[in-house]
Chain A
Amino acid sequence: MTKQYDTIIIGAGHNGLVCAAYLAKKGQKVLLLEAADTLGGLASTREFHPGFKASVAHTINQFSSKIVGDLNLAAYGFKSGKPMQSVGLSEDGQHVSIANGKVTGVGQSDIDAFARYTKMMQRYAKAMAGFSLQTIPPIGNNSFSEVLTFAKMGLKIRGLGREDMRELLRIISLPARDLMDENFDNPILKAMLSWDGLIGSKMAPRSPNNTVLMMLFRMIGEHRGAHALPVGGMDGLINALSNALTSSGAEIRTSAPVGQVLVNRSKNGLSAVGVILQNGEEFKAQRIVSAVDPKQTFLDLVGVDNLEIEFTNRINRLRSDGYVAKLHLALDGLPDFNGINIPNERMIIAPEMDAIEFAFDDAKYGEASSEPVMEVMLPSLRDQSLAPEGKHVLSAHIMYVPYNRKGGWTKKAKDQLAKNAIKTLSQYAPGIEKQIAHAELLTPADIAESHLVTGGHWHHGEFALDQMMMMRPTYEAAQYKTPIPGLYLASAGCHPGGGIMGGPGHNAAHEILK
């Protein structure tokens, strides 16, 4: 009665889509099950007000060109957009801009330093780029191929040469603040450069850990760190992926939330053999890939009774509280940003690193910052279908907004946060508050609910030294296989992590097809 698939993939975020597309392309019979009625997960475009649409993730800066090529996405309508400028806003309109690897709006010494700094970072990013599309072997196995992988990684870094390598090792775990202070003078430039090392993490400029790695990780894309939007917006990518996989014969079901991974228990042990939807419908397959975050996968869908005790506790301990909120504004007209003609670039509102630090201080103690720092875009300027004619959508990432607010996310607290964010915006775009037809604020707690991501976390789990590479999400599940035969992971919660890049989906498919 039930149809037998080769692979069932749970979750049609971009990673689920990428994984499905690779498997279907190899001839596997694939079923992709998505809880929402749209595809793309955090990158899905959803209507938040009649006629106005937005996606939680609003730019792309690291989607893998290898995946674009492998899956022939161009043939399915994917066209990567031109790189955007990043603009560090100044209240008086004296903005700092970065475009084509050059900075303007700062003094000559910063211009020179930026050229040097960028070159150096580009070399490091290049040396590390390969790791992201590669399974990182577990420690201590010492099989030939695994030792070889480590050796190759080592060689790549050695290939940087002695000077560069020393410098990389010196700065690798530096707080953003130290790195910026060493190199630059302009406070806006420092704040906007550290932004890409921080956003999505529970870290601020003074936190040592993986800020520099994060910056490098975000520089491995086609535009070497510059952000872009594909033609047709986020949907340009998501539609190309879904077209690619349906044309290889894969089936997609939306509004199909999975309630349980079906684990067969016999004297031969455990194996994942299917899924049961929340409505009771059952599907069988040879293997199950979960492109849902690891915590939900194991604790909710698999269940602890099928897991080992220490493993369970490691999964439970994963740090996965999100700190980025989303603000979507439906605007009656184009807002007027001081000193900007058409606000169609990526704008950062953080006048100095301390502004970011202080916003973090509030969040660390369970409060949303009263002076939030933000990354702002008007996606409707690049994709007219997102708003009715003449109207616009403003999309903003707000840092830092704790998933776990002290006292909970009451309506009052949410209203206050939205008010604070809009007030900040109006300092740079006076009068914007009068243009707002509707405001949607998604705290991490809201995102957890609306997008089914634990903690509403950007990376499905903190992307930091303790949860990286062969530790991501935790050992015994870091090579996309899990302790349960037949069950694989493929979401941002796996190496190489989150952001719209496709690495986890690609690597999981590679392990399955091995």
Chain B
Amino acid sequence: MSKIKDPFAGERLKETPFHPRQSALNLRNAWSSWNGYLFADCYYEAEYEYFCIRNQCGTYDITPMQKYEISGADAEAMLNRMVTRDISKLRKNRVTYVCWCTDEGRMIDDGTIFMLTCGSPSLAWLRKSSFGYKDVTIKDLSDTVAALSFQGPTSCEVLKKMGLSKIDTLKPFGIKHFKFKGGKLMVSRTGFTGDLGYELWIDPKLALDLWDALYAAGEDFGIQPYGETATNMARLEAGFIMPEMEFNEALKTIHFQHDQTPLELDLGWLVDFKKPHFNGRNALLREKEKGTEYMLTKLDIQGNKPAEESFLYSDKACTKQIGYVTSAMWSPVVKANIALAMIKTKHLDGDIWAEINYVKELRQLSKMAKCTVMKKPFWAPARAKATPPGPY
């Protein structure tokens, strides 16, 4: 067979190291892209995958997530100036969730620090942040580490069965290292579903071995791959934010203040004003003193029609618009019509009405539904925080 040069070579999406297994299971051929990688929206059916996460366990390929290793004597100082949280207290083998802002306090991205991971490429910002520090090296590990998110109530049991000893003693946001097929497997108890779950980090060469070991151990525990759509459902129940849904990355925002601050995103707990200096501190302090204009709010909405893209009003007659829904769904586990919404802070204590547009057999319909503000995540089972998480 003659080799024909692919004229679109540079345009094709990359395949992650797990691709051979995942493509075999992607019955619907439902692919989209994430950071240049081919990436599953769903494998068979989003609802089905969602129930796997909530009732059994599932894997979600997070290889496309951006990963950076920041090292050198000044690495901590550099990161501590960049992120809003105080990471000088971060102990070895612990992960912390952080966000970082522009000088104006607008949120650029969120991520976790153990190596630094985040949803979007951030090398330029990291480089800018490291300018002036004498001893900092930034390495982009994005293509050199394969990663699987492994979530769900049976996930701990499966890892145990796979032979990861004492995995049940790993605390949330903890990290453990294991030997695996002559290589190293790093496991962190982290995830994006609000439930018990882990993230597995491995050399791409061992990715398929890991997959096979995991699926062999998980056979009786209902293991399934899940895609973006199911992830998005699970994270909404957990109350987690998503770029381009809840927030617009500040460096990609064109219109003035069409991005958000961590305070508006209800991430005030990530902003440590006791820390003398971090990027955006002055701006955020001013905002805190003045009060945010908007606040990301969890809503429980009457009825069962998802309030997708709804406008919110302070009255049923829609005379005063006070915000908009960013994500919405009917939540099967909570059995509630839930949403995240940006609402003008000063209207949070009053009535909130959602104008829900929906389609019924090609008819465009609309109705008003009363909303109740929820303080806690919609879904937060005890096992997500318990150590050991207990059998399921």
Contacts and interface: CB of A to CB of B under 8 A. Distances in A.
B285 interface: yes
Contact of B103 (A303, A305, A311): A311
B131 A308 contact: no
A99 interface: no
B127 to A, nearest CB: 9
B132 A299 contact: yes
A169 interface: no
B280 interface: yes
Contact of B282 (A266, A269, A316): A269
B131 A267 contact: no
Interface in B269-283: 273-277, 279-282
B238 to A, nearest CB: 30
Interface in A243-277: 265-270
A469 to B, nearest CB: 20
A309 B276 contact: no
B132 A270 contact: no
A308 B132 contact: no
Interface of B: 77, 81-82, 102-103, 125, 128-129, 131-133, 273-277, 279-282, 285
Given A269-B285, A303-B132, A316-B132, A309 B279 contact: yes
Contacts of A309: 81-82, 102-103, 125, 128-129, 279
A437 interface: no
Contacts of B132: 299, 303-305, 307, 312, 316
B277 A265 contact: yes
21 contacts: A265-B276, A265-B277, A267-B276, A269-B276, A269-B277, A269-B285, A270-B276, A270-B277, A299-B132, A305-B132, A305-B133, A308-B103, A308-B279, A308-B280, A309-B82, A309-B102, A309-B125, A310-B102, A310-B128, A311-B103, A312-B131
Interface in A307-343: 307-313, 316
B131 A304 contact: yes
Q: Which of A268, A304, A308, A312 has the most CB of B within 10 A?
A: A308
Contacts of B102: 309-310
A267 B273 contact: yes
Interface residues of A, number: 21
A483 interface: yes
A265 B103 CA distance: 18
A426 interface: no
Contact of A267 (B82, B125, B128, B274): B274
A471 to B, nearest CB: 16
A266 B273 CA distance: 10
Given A305-B81, A310-B102, A483-B282, A266 B276 contact: yes
Nearest to B129: A309
Given A267-B275, A313-B128, 12 more contacts: A265-B276, A265-B277, A267-B274, A269-B277, A269-B282, A270-B276, A299-B132, A303-B132, A308-B279, A310-B103, A313-B131, A476-B103
A306 interface: yes
Interface in A113-164: none
Nearest to A265: B276
A475 B197 CA distance: 46
A316 B130 CA distance: 12
B242 to A, nearest CB: 25
A308 B282 CA distance: 10
A308 B285 CA distance: 14
Q: Which of B125, B129, B276, B285 has the most CB of A within 10 A?
A: B276
A305 B80 CA distance: 9
B126 to A, nearest CB: 10
Interface string A434-448: 000000000000000
Given A304-B131, A309-B129, A310-B128, A269 B281 contact: yes
